[in-house]
Amino acid sequence: MDSQAASSDSGGTEAEFLARYDPSLWPSIGVTADVVLLTVRHGRLCVLLVERANHPHQGKWALPGGFVDIEEDLDAAAQRELAEETGVAIEANWLEQLKTYGTPGRDPRMRMVTIAYLAFTNVTQEPVAADDARATRFFAIEDLHLPELGLTDGMDLAFDHATVIADGVERARAKLEYTTLASAFVDEPFTLGDLRRVYESVWDITLHEANFRRKVLGTPGFVEPTGTTAPTDGRPAQLYRRGPAERLHPPILRPPPD
Amino acid sequence: MDSQAASSDSGGTEAEFLARYDPSLWPSIGVTADVVLLTVRHGRLCVLLVERANHPHQGKWALPGGFVDIEEDLDAAAQRELAEETGVAIEANWLEQLKTYGTPGRDPRMRMVTIAYLAFTNVTQEPVAADDARATRFFAIEDLHLPELGLTDGMDLAFDHATVIADGVERARAKLEYTTLASAFVDEPFTLGDLRRVYESVWDITLHEANFRRKVLGTPGFVEPTGTTAPTDGRPAQLYRRGPAERLHPPILRPPPD
DNA sequence: ATAATAGTGTCTCTCAGACAGTATGTG
DNA sequence: CACATACTGTCTGAGAGACACTATTAT
């Protein structure tokens, strides 16, 4: 019930109503922004976590994040908290909302609503712990043994962050199908082998090299050749940069989970 | 900055920390849940709106929604507010989070964070205005002329609800491609013509009847025949009910927007 | 030489688009 | 009867899966 609702026949103007309105009469709900930052290193999908320096869940690993400032946009808060705790800077186009978590009791301090963000980066940036973080590093998703992804003996993460990470991984896996997201995981310039290994790491399958090549090169705007080559363990490979396309028509579908 | 953060060397237990913690020291941020309820009537995609009885934006049309109670889950708040203001009851499986909107200044009362939900229903339920709503009815999406969907002269909706509705419509259009969502828009039992008209209304295109039939019947678990028929304007049609499948493999892709 | 990866060509099967034609109701 | 919608069958072309084969480097 809205105890401060202006009844429709009170006759006051909106300006008068707003002048009387007292936000502090509402019970306090905490609003935080957390970031699920994913990357691929050594052929494994990884997430950036911080070791909590403070209560609650002191010493446990958690997603970077924290309180949204009263005059700060949600996206900005996510970027700021990520930078403050881990030193990692993310461009806004690689940062998207994942989901909002607000079940009562999920934080022992108070009723807390957390807007979780999903971010992607290449392997260049090295995190540096600061602020609320005692340490920070990347964890391979498979090493977390998230029960939400069908595994057991999950690591004891802070709050409901195991669920949040699992939701983020599932979103990333789905987005590879119908967007050019995969190219956000690699440094420019990159080879088609680099790009293919992103798909293989995130989906945890192997792809047919020749078919993948045909598909990627046949999608206008996915990648653009630079004309240069890079050495590999075999024949040197053509280098590419990201093209302007953001969506894949038609998509690259994962094999059904049978 | 977390002014109440327990420094890592303070030595207190988590229980002691929580006993000292005072949530009321945080500035108040309002948390609301709004619902974008979509349906198809008379071959047009429609959204349920309410006319606001109270300030702010008194008299404007808005999405049903309101404040989340301090001990109430977010999903429950969305369902409750929808029922209170419009009398429409929605099963939880047809209710999913859309996005969270929290830009400072989007509500003149106070800093407001709104978790928007997306819901789908058939045409059976008739809304009844109550509570904070002076009136309630369905609007065809095309009649709103949302600038976010490429149209002009948009209706003057309350808050940023034009953006929220546009995001919801885009999500629904995308979900038709790779889920069995379309069957949530029709009453059981339904004909394949009914189901096809859902796709045609939401995507605002026409589909080839024979190919649509082949595709739907070729997807295991999408629909199940009841063995009965219903009269139409032509030959009577087989009736179907929803099958157990939730995802479509492979998807029914929209023609590219070229 | 072998190993390893990059890259080309091609066969086949699935499936979507297009459309012809049949079935069965109503006015 | 015409008309409308439901339903069946088939041709074709795009594209994915599979695989054979060639190219170019390192050791």
% of chain B surpassing 70 pLDDT? 95
User: Residue B5's closest chain A neighbor by CA?
Assistant: A54
What's the CA gap between B74 and B90, in Å, rounded?
14
Same domain, B134 and B198: no
Distance from the A75 Cα atom to the nearest Cα atom in chain B, whole angstroms: 9
In B, residues 61-90, which contact A (CB 8 Å cutoff)? 66-68, 70-74
Tokens for B25, please give them.
Answer: 């020291």
Q: Are B242 and B224 in contact (CB under 8 A)?
A: yes
* A188: closest CA of chain B, how far (Å): 28
Q: Residue B24 has what pLDDT? A: 81
In a domain, residue A99? The reply is yes
Same domain, B119 and B41: yes
Residue whose CA is minimally distant from D23 C1'? A235
Q: Do A30 and B7 touch (CB under 8 A)?
A: no
Confirm whether B250 is domain-assigned: no
Question: pTM of the entire structure?
Answer: 0.92
Asked if residue B126 and residue B83 are part of one domain, the reply reads yes
Same domain, A152 and A210: no
The pLDDT score that the predictor gives to residue A137 is: 95
H-state helical runs in chain A? 14-20, 74-86, 141-144, 161-178, 192-203, 209-217
Residues A117 and A141 in one domain: yes
CA closest to C1' of C3 belongs to A234
- Decide: A79 and B82 in contact? Cβ < 8 Å: no
Helices (H), A112-231: 141-144, 161-178, 192-203, 209-217
Q: Does residue B23 lie in a domain region?
A: no
Picking from B74, B72, B124, the residue whose alpha carbon sits closest to that of residue B96 is: B74
**Mutation to test the B interface, candidates A85, A100, A134, most B Cβ within 10 Å:** A100
Which of A90, A85, A87 is closest to A52 using CA atoms?
Answer: A85
Domain region containing A232 = 181-242
β-strands A30-41, B112-120: how paired? unpaired
pLDDT for the residue numbered A1: 47
Domain match, A61 and A91 both: yes
Residue A37 pLDDT: 97
Q: Is the dihedral of CA B93, B95, B98, B102 positive or negative?
A: negative
> How many domains is chain A built from?
2
**In-domain check, residue B199:** yes
Let me know if residue A197 belongs to a domain: yes
B103 and B146 assigned to the same domain: yes
> Kind and range of the H or E element at A230?
strand A223-230
Distance CA B203, CA A4 (A): 41
CATH code for the domain in which residue B80 is found: 3.90.79.10
Contact B26 A28 (CB under 8 A): yes
Report the CATH number at residue A215.
Answer: 1.10.10.10
CB proximity list for B199: less than 8 A, separation 6 or greater: B176, B182, B207, B212, B252
Q: Residue A125 forms beta bridges with which residues?
A: none
Indicate the residue among B175, B206, B222 that finishes a domain: B175
Residues A193 and A170 in one domain: no
Q: Is B218 on the interface with A (CB under 8 A)?
A: no
Within a domain: residue B102?
A: yes
Tokens standing for residue A207: 């792809």
pLDDT tens track for B71-127: 999 999 999 999 999 999 998 778 999 999 999 999 999 999 999 999 999 877 789
Closest CA to B242 of B258, B214, B219, B208: B219
Rounded Cα distance between B151 and B157, Å, is 15
- Average pLDDT of chain B is 91
Question: Would the pLDDT of B1 be above 90?
Answer: no
Final residue belonging to a domain, choices B148, B175, B202:
B175
> In what helix (H) or strand (E) does residue A62 lie, and over which residues does it extend?
strand A61-62
Cα A48 to Cα A100, A137, A208, B67, B209: the distances in Å are 19, 6, 30, 33, 49
Last residue within a domain, chosen from B175, B190, B205: B175
Residues A126 and A78 grouped into a single domain: yes
Q: Is residue A199 part of a domain?
A: yes
| Mean pLDDT estimate for chain A | 91
**A26 inside 8 A of chain B by CB:** yes
What digits encode the pLDDT tens for the residues B153-162? 778 999 999 9
Residues B205 and B228 in one domain: yes
Write out pLDDT tens, residues B129-143.
888 899 999 999 999
- E-strand ranges in chain B read 30-41, 44-52, 61-62, 65-67, 95-101, 112-120, 133-140, 223-230, 237-242
Contact criterion met (CB < 8 Å) for B18 and A70: no
Q: What is the pLDDT of residue A8?
A: 44
pLDDT (0 to 100) of residue B8? 45
Q: Which long-range contacts does B228-232 make (Cβ < 8 Å, 24+ apart)?
A: B228/B189, B230/B189, B230/B191, B232/B191, B232/B193
Same-domain status, A59 and A112: yes
Same domain, B44 and B159: yes
Q: What is the three-class DSSP state of A175?
A: helix
Contact between chains at A55 and B18 (C-beta distance less than 8 A):
yes
A204 CA to C2 C1' distance (Å): 30
Contact B60, B130 (CB under 8 A): no
Check if residue A236 sits with its Cβ under 7 angstroms from strand C.
yes
Structural domain contains residue B19: no
pLDDT at B258 > cutoff 70: no
Low-confidence residues in chain A, pLDDT < 50: 1, 7-9
